Every structure is written in C-alpha cells, then in structure tokens.
Amino acid sequence: MKISTTGSWSSREGPGTKGFTLIELAVVIALLGLFLGLTIPRFQYALVADDLKATTRKIVGLVREVRNEAIREQRVYTIHLDIESNRWWTEHTGMEDEEMVLAKEEAFVLPSGVRILDVWCRGKGKQAHGEVILHFSKKGYVEQALIHLGEDDGREFTLTLSPFLGTVKVHDTYVDIVAM
C-alpha cells in the first residue's frame, strides 16, 4: 500500500501516489516547531528556574530523609533552620563536636531571592529570627511545625510537618496556624 498526496491509503501504484508532498511535510515540521517553541520555555521555567518550588521540594525531601534515618539508625535527628542566613543542616545524637561544626559549615544555603520567613512550632510559637531546631525522635516523630518560605517576587509557600505521619503538606500561600 502507498500513501497518496492527499494522505489517504491507496493500493494503486503510479506516479502521483508515492507519498506526501514537500509542502505537506514543511507544514507539519513548521507546526511541530511552533508547538515546541511555545511549550519548552514554560516547562523550563516551571521545572528549572523556579527557585522557590525547588527549595520547597528539597525541604520536603530532607524531612523524609531525616525521618527515615532516625527510624533506621534509632537516633534522634535534628534539622537546624537558620533564618538570618537562610541555611539548614542536620545533626544526630552521637555526632562528635567536630562533626557538628563541619555540618554547620557545609549547610545548604537557599538560592538568592528565596528566604525562610518564619517557622511555627507547637509549644514554641512563631519564630522569625535566629535558629529553629526541629527534632525527630527514634520513631520518626517530629514536632508539628509550619515552615514559611518566600521569594522576592512576593510568592509564599507553607510547609506543614505532620507529627506522627512524617508527611509534609505544601501550600502555595502563607498559611497561619489559626487558619488550619
């Protein structure tokens, strides 16, 4: 079977039924180029250039990783959030003083433009300055907390840490404890 110049199938062979014309192929390639040209920048911005979303994903992954390590190693782990310097690092029981200093020196620094706005912890309240420490027990339990992140463009995210489930719920707005 051959495809005719109109795109329909034909069982006849002949000079006019050998395939698509050059114009048809050029139109299809031009349309594909147009679609790719319109969609790739959106994917690039959504996946690569959005530092606030990337930071949010990193914190969610960090919480899961620290919880799993606490359960697996049967140690108390802590995540330190330094609000002024926009950094975080982890420690666990049994670390030497030198290891703790090294962990703090090698802390993850948030991308420029992204900052920790404040952190609310049950029993401690909201803290917008200094260092906040989140404790993970040997069973993986963490104190209930809200981590508020913001970017220079005005967008804000809230990460809600569930004490017993070890889950992190992400809100794309600033959610206060009163609104929960």
Q: What is the pTM of this model?
A: 0.70
The per-residue pLDDT string of the chain (180 residues; one tens digit each, 9 = 90 and over) reads 455 555 555 555 555 567 788 899 999 999 998 888 887 766 655 555 688 899 999 999 999 999 999 999 999 999 999 999 999 999 999 889 999 999 999 999 999 889 999 999 988 889 999 999 999 999 989 989 999 999 988 999 999 998 888 789 999 989 887 644
Both tokens assigned to 104: 């703090």
Give me the half-sphere count of Cα atoms (radius 13 Å) on the Cβ side of residue 137. 9
Q: Which residues on adjacent β-strands are paired with residue 82?
A: 87, 131
